[in-house]
């Protein structure tokens, strides 16, 4: 994740979205003194199962409001049952900056 500058990864089980793994989840486990467990921990042990997913055509203002209300950094974007991307708070900031520059 660090090498590719990725902070959020969708987690699937047999192709079904079941959670999201963030760099914060990993950092929390590392800082919680779980370093002796790191070899035995699996993604399912540390990922968040409360995943926020949206369809590709969901209005952006709704997505942003929900992310803010939930205090979360990403939304998994789907096209039906297929994961098509991850929308992050960084993406939202980039879009807003572009909007402000264009005004």
Tens digit of each residue's pLDDT (9 = 90 or more) over 9-25: 999 999 899 999 999 88
Task: Give the CA-trace dihedral at 43, 46, 92, 81, to 10 degrees.
Answer: 50
Give the pLDDT score at 2. Answer: 87
Q: Are the C-beta atoms of residues 76 and 17 closer than 8 Å to each other?
A: yes
82 lies in a domain? yes
Instruction: Give 85's pLDDT tier (boundaries 50, 70, 90).
Output: very high
Give the pLDDT score at 35. Answer: 63
State the CATH number of the domain containing residue 84. Answer: 3.10.580.10
Rg of the chain over all Cα atoms, to the nearest angstrom: 15
Give the pLDDT score at 67. Answer: 97
Tell me the per-residue pLDDT of 28-76, one tens digit each, with 9 for 90 and over.
887 776 666 767 888 988 899 999 999 999 999 999 999 999 999 999 9
| d(C-alpha 58, C-alpha 100), whole Å | 22
2 lies in a domain? no
- Domain range for 14 is 8-102
Give the pLDDT score at 33. Answer: 66
Domains identified in the chain, total number = 1
Question: CB burial class (10 A; 0-12, 13-18, 19+) of residue 59?
Answer: exposed
Distance of CA 93 to the CA centre of its chain: 15
For 95, list phi and psi in degrees, rounded to 5.
-65, -40
Sequence-ordered list of residues with C-beta below 8 angstroms from that of 49, at least 6 positions apart, any chain: 18, 19
Give the pLDDT score at 29. Answer: 80
């Amino acid at each position: 994740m660090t090498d590719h500058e990725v902070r959020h990864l969708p987690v699937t089980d047999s192709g079904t979205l079941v959670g999201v793994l963030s760099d914060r989840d990993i950092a929390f486990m590392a800082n919680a003194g779980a370093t002796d467990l790191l070899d035995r921990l699996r993604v399912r042990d540390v990922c968040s199962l409360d995943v926020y997913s949206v369809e590709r055509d969901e209005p952006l203002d709704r997505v942003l409001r929900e992310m803010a209300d939930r205090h979360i950094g990403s939304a998994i974007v789907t096209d039906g049952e297929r994961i098509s991307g991850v929308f992050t708070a960084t993406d939202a900031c980039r879009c807003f900056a572009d909007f402000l520059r264009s005004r």
